[in-house]
Structures are given as C-alpha cells and as structure tokens.
Amino acid sequence: MALDAAPDASAWEGLGPQEREHRKWVLDKIRRRIAEDGPRRAQASSDRERLFMLFAALEGYGEMIPRLRQNRERFPCADYQR
C-alpha cells in the first residue's frame, strides 16, 4: 500500500526542529489524502508537447538538437549532461 512506503520525519537526520515539524505536517497531510482519496496515478496527457513549445522560441534550439544527437552517436562516452 502507498502509505507503507511513505517515510516519517525521522527519516532525515540533522534537521532543525522547525523543518522536522514542517515535514511531519506535510507527510501527515499526504497520508490523510491517500487514506481518503487513494494514491494518485500518473496519467498520459494528449497536450504534453505543449509544455515544450516554449523551447522552440529559443534561437538555435532546432539546430542544436540534431547536432547533439549526432555528437552522441560519434562520441558515446562524452558527458552531454552539462
């Protein structure tokens, strides 16, 4: 069950009293919501691509993507996360 996997505030060491109390409050709210409504499930969205449309406005973005793919094929060990 989803509630079994939820940590409690003692899962984080070194927290100050205010932060520990805040996390306890948040986790309690999550547990209550799950108990009342059940766990939330991820759902596919038909308009997901809309989230990424803003990147199309970036100058050179369209040209950069194919270049990165080509470089990954040529240099598979290179770090492209930066």
Contact 6, 30 (CB under 8 A): yes
Contact 9, 37 (CB under 8 A): no
Tell me the whole-structure pTM to 2 decimals. 0.46
What is the tens place of the pLDDT at every residue in 33-73? 988 998 888 777 777 777 777 777 778 877 888 888 888 87
Q: Quick one: pLDDT at residue 82?
A: 46
Confidence of residue 25 (pLDDT cuts 50, 70, 90): very high
Q: Quick one: pLDDT at residue 58?
A: 78
**Which residue blocks in 2-82 are alpha helix, DSSP H?**
2-5, 17-37, 53-56, 61-74
Separation between Cα atoms, residue 35 and residue 1, nearest integer Å: 10
